Amino acid sequence: MILHCVFVRFKGALQPADKQALYEAVAALKNVTPGILDVKYGPNVSPEGLNGGFLDGFIVTFESPEARDAYLAHPEHITVGERIVASADGGLSGLMVFDLSV
């Protein structure tokens, strides 16, 4: 399995409803991309203060690296990804992606 972890520094002006719409768009990819087992999303709730300004994020669980790779190339993922980048503070620099094999 692959845990595809994406952490985001959203623009300050982004409304909570807009964040929710982005999260729901990510979750909806489960319906069009084979191999997604689960999608979780939400704000950082760690009390440690070590988030580096990444206050929000989501994790997509894939059954295999191949499923993750197909997701990355899927046109609907690309569209959602562009929306997330446009909503992130600093564009791509407002994102951190970390994939973990479990």
d(CA 51, CA 48): 8
Residues paired with 42 in a beta bridge: 57
CB neighbours of 42 closer than 8 A, spacing ≥ 6? 23, 56, 57, 58
Task: Determine the pLDDT at residue 63.
Answer: 98
Q: Which CATH class is domain 1-8+19-44+68-102?
A: alpha beta
d(CA 12, CA 3): 27
Global confidence as pTM:
0.92
| 37-54 mean pLDDT | 94
Q: pLDDT grade, residue 93 (50/70/90)?
A: very high
